[in-house]
Copies of this chain bind each other. A is one copy, B any other.
Amino acid sequence: MSTFLKNNYIGSILLDFPVQPRFCDEASADDLSETIAKILETKFGPFLKLFSGSVQPAKPTLGWITLLSGEKGVTAVIRTFPTRSVVTVTVDYDLKIYEGTPPVTFNDISDLEAELAKAFQSFKKTSPIPQIKRALDFDTYFTTSDSRLLEYDVQEMVFDARSEFQHVQIARSINYGNVLILDGLVNLAEADLAYTEAIMKRGEVDYTGKDVLILGGGDGALLYELRKENAKSITMIEIDEMVMSACKVHLRLACGDTLDNYKHENYEIIVGDCIPFMVKCKEEGKLFDHVFGDLTDIPISTNPIGEIWNFFRTTLQLSFSILKEGGTYFTHANGVTAEENLKMFESTIKDTLMGFPVELTQSTAFVPSFKEKWVFYEVKRAIAGNNGPQE
């Protein structure tokens, strides 16, 4: 058993199974709950009925609910859903009272569902769900871009603190190495070289002799990989020093020695806000060949409005104002399943850059720690002469 499973939690076991419609009738509610209780008792010991009645006294057709309570404080809720002829059973227990040994394994859950299905002459339609571990001391559940649930093999949190800007966590996992988590979202793992190579289009873009600007990028991975590409200069501007000091220690496989010192011969890390920095570059006529928008993820929303979208628009427009003709802006976007969001992303880019002749390219890469395929954009500031002036 991994360290992770030894961790204390409240376990919720969710069982569901289809039944013949007659079992959802009010009349058979008691029979049903008694049969279910008998099956549950094989794993949890005897139960006592605390409550049984229709879900809505006014509308008994909405279903029946039974509340059972057992030894060691285990509780079970049995619920019928007449519209779908489905019964759900939810069992909750406190691992501490079970002295750290869960009363059931995943195989037991599977067996229980099979027993229940058999008792009600139904066939089990979907796979069992492993128990949900609630009230954990640290995060192990994270989500995809479309809010699907993923349970990670977090062994421990090696860093956990709140900076002025965000909640910064680094989790140790066997599958992905250490994983940087910002405000509850998986940001980058040591196993995610694929992410960095996708955003920088390694092998497709020649950085030799170029001036490069990274907005954000506090994990240091992009800077570390770009350093290998013979650029003339790389400037990185990151607002959150805590991210860098945590990654320097705990995300070493991704950032190498990049974050050990901020000032170097051909690259520099500036701690600060990228907006005033770009405004200053613009005023001073400082131009870059490539700008990376390696900033906060934009959460999925139905419209491109709100603070983060505005921030995206502002940084994109400023980036273009300090980008040489023929230069490129690179950024990450979202998961491939977030189709509507990606369309919004593209139209926001086009609308924001109305005054510039641009070429927009989308690419995808499977990012191990995200457990999904991610979309990246390359926005090239086309050479006006080639496209005709658009301003």
Contacts and interface: CB of A to CB of B under 8 A. Distances in A.
A372 B151 CA distance: 11
B83 A97 contact: yes
A343 interface: no
Contacts of A336: 174-175
Contacts of A147: 105-106, 130
Interface string A132-175: 10111111111110111111110000000000000000000011
A8 B84 CA distance: 9
Contacts of A55: 69, 73, 75
Given A48-B57, A126-B141, A139-B127, A149 B149 contact: yes
Interface in A79-128: 79, 81, 83-84, 86, 88, 90, 92, 94, 96-97, 105-106, 125-128
A59 interface: yes
A385 to B, nearest CB: 40
Contacts of A94: 62-63, 81, 83-84
Contacts of A8: 84
Given A67-B67, A129-B132, A96 B84 contact: yes
A99 B389 CA distance: 52
A368 to B, nearest CB: 5
Contacts of A230: none
Interface stretch (A12-20, A212-220, A238-246, A322-330): A12-20
A308 interface: no
A56 interface: yes
B51 A50 contact: yes
Given A141-B127, A146-B2, A135 B16 contact: yes
A122 B65 CA distance: 31
Contacts of A71: 56
A63 B73 contact: yes
Given A86-B135, A135-B126, A92 B79 contact: yes
Interface string A176-193: 000000001000000100
Contacts of A148: 130, 151-153
Contacts of A335: 175
Contacts of A143: 106, 127, 130
Interface residues of A, number: 77
A227 to B, nearest CB: 25
A373 interface: yes
Given A79-B92, A174-B337, 13 more contacts: A2-B337, A12-B90, A75-B79, A105-B147, A106-B147, A126-B141, A127-B139, A132-B132, A132-B149, A149-B149, A153-B337, A174-B336, A175-B337
19 contacts: A2-B146, A10-B84, A10-B88, A50-B51, A50-B65, A55-B73, A56-B71, A56-B73, A57-B69, A65-B75, A84-B135, A88-B135, A90-B92, A126-B135, A129-B132, A144-B153, A148-B151, A174-B373, A175-B335
Interface of A: 2, 8, 10, 12, 14, 16-18, 48, 50-51, 53, 55-57, 59, 62-63, 65, 67, 69, 71-73, 75, 77, 79, 81, 83-84, 86, 88, 90, 92, 94, 96-97, 105-106, 125-130, 132, 134-144, 146-153, 174-175, 184, 191, 335-337, 366, 368, 371-373
Going nearest first, the 9 A-B pairs with the smallest beta carbon separation are: A62-B73, A51-B51, A148-B151, A106-B147, A127-B184, A86-B135, A16-B134, A371-B371, A149-B151
